[in-house]
Structure 1
Amino acid sequence: MAVSEVDLGHLHRCVALAREGLADGDEPFGSVLVDAAGQVRFEDRNRVKDGDETRHPEFEVARWAARNLSPAERASATVYTSGEHCPMCSAAHGWVGLGRIVYAVSSAQLVQWRQEWGLPASPVTPLPIQELVPGAVVDGPAPELVEEMKQLHRPVS
């Protein structure tokens, strides 16, 4: 399935959350969990600035869903996110049994940008979501949002 106009609306909210995180001194990532009826059930942004590198919004989505949704509700939900899941978040998504994932930019794009800017590599090898969760339904990137996300990730000089 391609990224639809409805998907883009939710991805724009993810980008707004990423911008909010960046404004608060954090990394620019945001995620939204939407149920099968199209209702936003949970949203969050990155919160790693205080040293807990596990405070990714995709991980928080999985934790919230495990506590608040039935297995059937989780399987029919969609996770929208500004950046493709890291391996930790992909694993959490798979273990909790969440449904479709839609992302604005891929891990490969983020790696390429960091290399262009001369930044160090991530301490965790970036992998496509399906390498960790083979049955995952994943759509992205959304070309309409790539340049905006690149600007959010660009280091301040």
Structure 2
Amino acid sequence: MADGAAITETDLVHLRRCVELASEALEDGDEPFGSVLVDPDGTVVFEDRNRVKGGDHTRHPEFEIARWGAAHLTSQQRAGSTVYTSGEHCPMCSAAHAWVGLGTIVFATSSAQLTEWHRAWGIPAGPVAPLPITQVAPRIPTRGPVPELAAEIRGLHARMRDIDA
């Protein structure tokens, strides 16, 4: 765990929804990532999945959550919210999260895991360094990765690799 805090049953419920959203993205021909924003009262207030297949690679669900949170939540609500995501934020999304003042991030799989899977499959590195959230936005509390979800998420990425092949 990034911050050493244990993953709760509530965390797992939201992370499983992220995996469902990632699967929906894959079924729609997109990269398998999904994210959920939970307000301080524990209510899911926004969720999204990757939408980069059209060529706009800023259409990450975590970035959309930051935009939505800035437009719809007070700074206090944003700070007390939790973002759940199937994969650790990329540097762009980590920065957006920090700039709008969202709270804790709980991620199912890490950037390091995804990087290793891609390396093993011979997929070239992307145009942005896969830095962990804590290197881009060091004051954001994080929890993850979650080992019990890794195989399922790896499987989604493997399916994407097979589709692209």
Could you say which residue in structure 2 is the equivalent of 1:103? 107
- 1:9-20 correspondence runs (5 A): 9-20=13-24
* 2:143 counterpart (119, 126, 139): 139
Superposition RMSD on alpha carbons, in Å? 0.6
What are structure 1's unaligned runs of at least 5 residues?
Answer: none
The SS at the match of 2:106 is strand
* 1:72 counterpart (70, 76, 86): 76
Is 1:120 aligned to 2:124, yes or no?
yes
Q: What number of residue pairs does the alignment pair up?
A: 157
What are structure 2's unaligned runs of at least 5 residues?
Answer: none
The amino acid of 1:103's aligned partner reads F
Q: TM-score, normalised by structure 2?
A: 0.94
Displaced runs of 4 or more, over 2 A: none
**Residue-by-residue CA offset, 1:77-112 (whole Å, 9 max, x unaligned):** 000000000000000000000000000000000000
1:46 Cα deviation from its structure 2 partner: 0.1
CA distance in 2, matches of 1:6, 1:143: 16
Could you say which residue in structure 1 is the equivalent of 2:65? 61
1:3 Cα deviation from its structure 2 partner: 1.1
Is 1:83 aligned to 2:87, yes or no?
yes
The SS at the match of 1:49 is coil
